[in-house]
Structures are given as structure tokens and as C-alpha cells.
Structure 1
Amino acid sequence: MSDPLPRSAFPEDFLFGAATSSYQIEGHGFGGAGPTHWDSFAATPGNVVRQEDGRVACDHYHRFPGDLGLAAGMGLDAYRFSTSWARILPEGRGTPNPEGLDFYDRLIDCMLENGLKPAVTLYHWELPSALADLGGWRNRDIAAWFGDFAQLVARRYGDRLWSAAPVNEPWCVSWLSHFEGAQAPGLRDIRATARAMHHVLLAHGTAINAMRAEGMGNLGAVCNFEDSIPASDAPADHLAAERQAAIYNRFFLSGLFRGAYPERVMEGLGPHLPAGWQDDFAVIRTPIDWIGANFYTCNRAQWAEGAWPNIRLVEGPLEKTAMGWEIRPESLGAMLRLVTEYCPGLPVYVTENGMAGHDVPAGGEVPDPQRIAYLRDHLAVAARAIADGIPLKGYFLWSLLDNYEWSLGYEKRFGLVHVDFDTLARTPKHSYHAVKAFLRGSDL
């Protein structure tokens, strides 16, 4: 048992929030939303547990007032949500969907009525099918399409948004989805991967410029990070960990802040990047106001003979979550230090942190002691980072609600609020009540 953590460990103006994403909670079958590549990925046998999809999800589309009431009732300062590109623009371009536009008006207004700062992410993985048909993230034109979408969002909602980030977790959008094939569009193609990794950064910079041109401020980037640890002391395993870190962490930071890509990545992806890619860094490096770090776990890298990247990830020795992910809070500190190495002085936010648990309702309650310990230990690391001089300004829990966990369907539960996916009833877990008490002054 770690030491109790008081709210006073953080500055008074430190921001606490919760994060969600559109496709995972809204219910994509409502309100005139267009089809996405996640719908077709989920409809393909073998891609998603039980072929589950996001058509209903948590029905947040209809139930958002109660959900935002839960967020406000916990004592949170901010709410991180995402817009669905296909809900606003069913074809990805052209005529907007009035129902979609009106939904986000109501959603943002409800946040403000509940005293929650609206923190929007424009894209959390659900690409309109019409754009996927044109090559999606492999097609350079996606940067311009995304810039137009960003402009539309900025014009409609910008005066009410506290912050905005273009893309959630570019590694997942590109590598996980185009090299490993684990998420939509489910490709395993090194050329597609190289182009997607570059184009997602180009789209980021294009969107930042579009939103800035509409007068918006407090614009940032949200990347996911995993601390890569060699599986042994063998030099080959150290090389594998270095390459894993370069692909997962440093590629995007280096592009955003240094205008270059790491040599350990270029060894494999360099020949497959699009012509003239070096000329895009002027856009990619468009200044931002903050950097967001999504963090859950570490990985253990082992050298694998054969083709590049020669990496095999192996199981580590520490306690695991329901995802099988190791719980290693000190790795959060390592990743915060990595971020500040690339952008010293820039405000940093932990934009996602949390865990999937084996959460079973009992007698009208949902005990989740492992999650409470996880949050306490990671928040303690965040507090130490602030004491060590890292400009950490806020922390967002993932997630407010149990939700659609992509290729894992509804099986993995990350929420502080339990959702019964048969009745859609919400039940705050013990972790919800623990965080609520913490934000009111009790120790966590």
C-alpha cells in the first residue's frame, strides 16, 4: 500500500479532468452520422471481439446531460471529448450534417453549464468511409481535408472551447493501424505505415494553422507514450528497446519539435516515405501551446531475428491490469521527462491515464481497489514531477465511462463509472467516489 496522497500535493490551479472519445461512447448509429472505417473494420469477422461495434456504445448521444452531471459531480475542472468527423461531415467533405453540428453545440453548452472546461480533440480514430476509400491516411490530400474540418469546428465552436488538439495518439492512427493491423483500417503494409505516420503529422500542423487562423488559442498535440525497457542486459535487447522507443515515442516528438525523424526509424521507413517529405516540416512544426501525454504502461523489448524492426515485446514481471499491461508508475515520470527534453518549458498535460479492471457489480456497488491504487500511485509520480520542475499543468483520467474499447469490444472496462451494456445503467465505482473525495480535500 502506497502512502496516502493529499490534494495539496498539487498546485491549486492544477487541472483535473476526465477524457472520453466520440465513437467509444456516443452511439454512431444516431443523428445522421456517416459510415466510418471502424464500422467496416468491426463488421469484418475476426477483427473485433464478438464483432461488436459503436452503433449504440454508451448512448451518450442521448444521455450526455447525465454523464456530464457525473463528471461535474466528481468535482472535475475539465472534460476532454472528441468530435466525430463523420458525424459532422458524413462524407468527410462537402455539406455538414445539421444534426451533428447541433449535437456538439448542445454537448459543449452542457459542459459549460456544468462548470467543465471543454477540451476537444478533433480526431479520435473514426475516419469517414468516403475518405478511407480515397486512401485515408496514406493519401497526402488528407491534410487538406482535415484542415477544412478543423476550420469548420473552429468557426462553429471555437469561442466556447477551452483547448483543442487535432489528433489523438498518432502512433495508433498510423503504426498500430497500418503496420500491426490491430485497428482500422487493419493494414500490415510498411509503405502505408510510413506515409500514414508522416501525413498524420502534416494533418496536425495543417489543422493547427486552420484553427489559429480562426482566432483559436490554447492549441496542443496529444501523443501516447510507453517506456521501452530492454527485456535483458543483452546489447541486442537494448537495441530493440531503443528502436521501439524511437518508433513509439520519439518519431512524433522529433517531427513536431525538431523537424526530423529518428535514424532508428528511418532505417526501416525511410525508403517508403512520400517524395518531398522533408519539405513538410515547416507545417508540422507549427508552434503549439501545450503538449499532452497519454500514458498507461511500459513495454519490455527483446531482439527478434528476421525483418526490421527486429522487436518482440515480452511479458514483464509486474502486476498487470485486465489488459495484461504492467503497472509501473515510475515510467510515467520517465515519459514526462522525455517530453520536456523535446519541448522544455512548454506546458504539459497528462491527457489520458487509467486502467482496465475486472470490475464486477456487487450489491449495487462496483468495488475497484486496483484502480484506486493505480490512480494514487500515478498521481503521486505526477506530483513529484511538478516538484522536480516539470511544467505539468493538469491530469485527465481515462475514462469517465466504461466504453467501446475498439478491437476488444465491450470487454475491457476503463471507466470510473460502470456501464451495464444491456440496460445502459450507470453506476459510479468506488474509484469515482475516491476521486470525488480527493478533489474535495480527502487523501486518495
Structure 2
Amino acid sequence: MKYTYLIGLSLISLSSFAQKSPLKAEVSKKADAIEQKVIAWRRDFHEHPELGNAEVRTAGIVAKHLTSLGFVVTTGVAKTGVVGILKGGKPGPVVALRADMDALPVTERVDLPFASKVKTQYNGQEVGVMHACGHDSHVAILMGVAEVLSSMKKEIQGTVKFIFQPAEEGVPAGDEGGAALMIKEGVLENPKVDVIFGLHINSQTEVGNVAYRPGGTMAAVNDMKITITGRQAHGAYPWSGIDPIVVSAQIINNLQTIVSRNLNLTENPGVVTVGAINGGVRSNIIPEKVVMLGTVRNFSNQDEAMFIDRIKTIATKTAEAYGATAEVKIPFSSHYPVTFNNIALTEKMLPSMQATAGADHVLLRPPVTGAEDFSFFQEKVPGLFVFLGGMPKGKDPLKAPSHHTPDFYLDESGFVLGVKLLSNLTLDYMGMKK
């Protein structure tokens, strides 16, 4: 009880500070004034999407904007990333703000005047390119934050580092990119970052709402590749071979027992998904090999280790039982840690979020089994990653098109709240550190 009481006093104190911050009204006024500019930026990025490590046009627009605001700008970070530094008029901490810039190999189906018509080559195939996850809005929102805060430079008690990151959606096997490469190249140094904030638009959260979760908020992810090797045979004489397709089917079924029988679901969720299975060339030939690709999601290091061990055991032993062999590579090409919101930081910033969006519009959400490479930043410095509503008011979340789909859609009226939120989190955090 005593502990709860002290936390309550802390939140009351911080809430009072956040509500009374004299800069909030100024932020709100300035953000409202540039709302249409933010929307225009987003539409332009949406119409001209670029895949990871190829965000050349996007990065150029960002760099030009930051330069026009008087920032110290560095380009070519982690290949196409842009970093801008705004030094405030007063001493204080270094706050980093991050937006991801890359699009996805998805062909757009939404009927919009600024819909993407871009096509490119991806994994040897011609594909459409679409901002089907909202990264275009993230870039536009952070450009808006840069404009708002640069106009308040004298009042800023510290330094703001704007990180425009490429390749959040990952890079081809063997390549580097994204948050991990930015960190490797020193993005959190010179000046050294004290804390980092980020947001993600959500097409199934109503406009005007902000959702958050302390601790593990998005899953760790490992991709996997399982290669089953049997013995090729004529389809009419299966007894003369070892069928890797049948073995693969058994492995897929058995993998589902990890979540249903090995994972303590009362503590954390988890997912094992096989998303691709490839083998064979015609109907009457049993192939020699089958290759499966999949994704594994979990919320703790212990669960991650258990998942990897069980996947390897199930795949190899199931294959062995049928006379085949299984080679398991996990991770195959990428691994993201848990997106972990620093608990103390989340508690401190909750009043700021409530003062910005309204207490009734700041929602505690369950864990999300999607993953984010913002998690790499959070491994190095305290971080807070929240979700911004992008679904039209009154729409059923279950019927709203989800992320990474051709029908993904955002209500642009929610962007201005994102500008206000990141601006106020920055200024409030600096005010608390005086």
C-alpha cells in the first residue's frame, strides 16, 4: 500500500507539472497551424514510397527540411538515414525522437488520389510498393515536430536529436540496415542520448486515442528457415522414396504444440507461424527437398530460448522419425528484441500523454505480437514507444484493414495529435530534469 501511495503522489506531482506546462498551449497552436502541411508531406511520401535502404527521395526531402530550420544535419547514416540536431537555448538532457521511412512490397488497392503506382524488383519479382504500415505518416509527423520545436528553440531546455531511420521492415539476408546499423554507426552518441521517444500509427485504434504499455509492448522476433531433405521418387511409387512434403506437414502441426503445450500463456503470449513452404516442380514427382520459412514471436529471453530449442528439437526429431533430415536456421536473416518500454520512464510520461490527448483517450493496451526495431534503441537508452490512433471514428477495429495489407488506410485527422504528443513528451521530459 505504501508503495502504491508513493507512486500515486509521484503521478499527481508529475500530472500537475504536465497540465500547467506553459509551453503546451504554444505547442498546440503551432501544431494546429501546420496540420495541413503535415498531411501534404504524408501524401507526397505515400505517392512516392521507397523500400528499405532505398529511401533516397524521402531522405532528401527530410534533410532539406531540417536544413531549412537551421538544424545540424547528417545524411547517409546507415545508408539512407538522416539525423538532425536542434540545440535548445537552455542546458539540459538530450532527447531523441525517431521516425522510420521505409515502405513495403505491397500493391496498393485503396482508391486515393495519391495512391502509390510505384513498382520495383523485390526478391527477383516485380512488386508494387506501398506505405502499408504508416511510416509515411511517421516521417511527416516528425518533420512537423521539428518545425514546432525549432520555432521554440529559446525555450528548449536541452538538445533534441531527430532520427529518420531507414529499413525498419528489415533488409535482405546478409545485408545490414535499420536501427541496429544506426546504433553501430554512433547515432546515440555525439551528443549522447539520454532518452528516446517514438510512435507508431495504428489503423485499428480510433483517431484521437493514444495507446501504451509499460514493459514488453511488442514482441521479439526471429525468422526461421527449415530445410527438409528426403529422397526423391516417382509420385506413383512413394514407398521408394522419403517424402519431405509429408514430413513438412507433420512438422508444421507439431510446431503448434509449442504455444499450446510449452508456453505459460498466463505470463506472456507467443506465436510460431510458418508463412511459406516451397518444394516440388510437378504433380507426379516427390521432391528431394522442401524449404519452410516462418516467424517466431515472444516477450522474454527465457521464452525465446525455449522456442528456439523446441523448434529445433521438433523439426529434427520429426524428420528423423520419417527417415528424413531437417536443418533449422533460427534466426535465419533477422532478429529484433522485445520492444520494452522503460517502466519508470513510462510512469513519468503518462501525465504528459494524458494532458496532450485527454485522460480518457490514453489507453493501456495488451501486448502486441508485431515487432519493431525501435527495440534496439531501447536496449541502449531508456525508451518509450506508443501507438497513435489512425482509424476513422466509429469504425469497427475488426473490420478496419490491418497493417501490411493492400487496403491499409489512415484517417489523416489523427496526425496533428502525433505532432503535439512527441513535442510535449520532449518538453515535459526536459522540464522534469531541470
- Choose between structure 1 and 2: higher strand proportion: 2
Q: Which has the higher contact order (CA 8 A, sep 6+)?
A: 2
TM-score (norm 1): 0.29
TM-score (norm 2): 0.30
- Which is higher, the Rg of structure 1 or of structure 2? 2
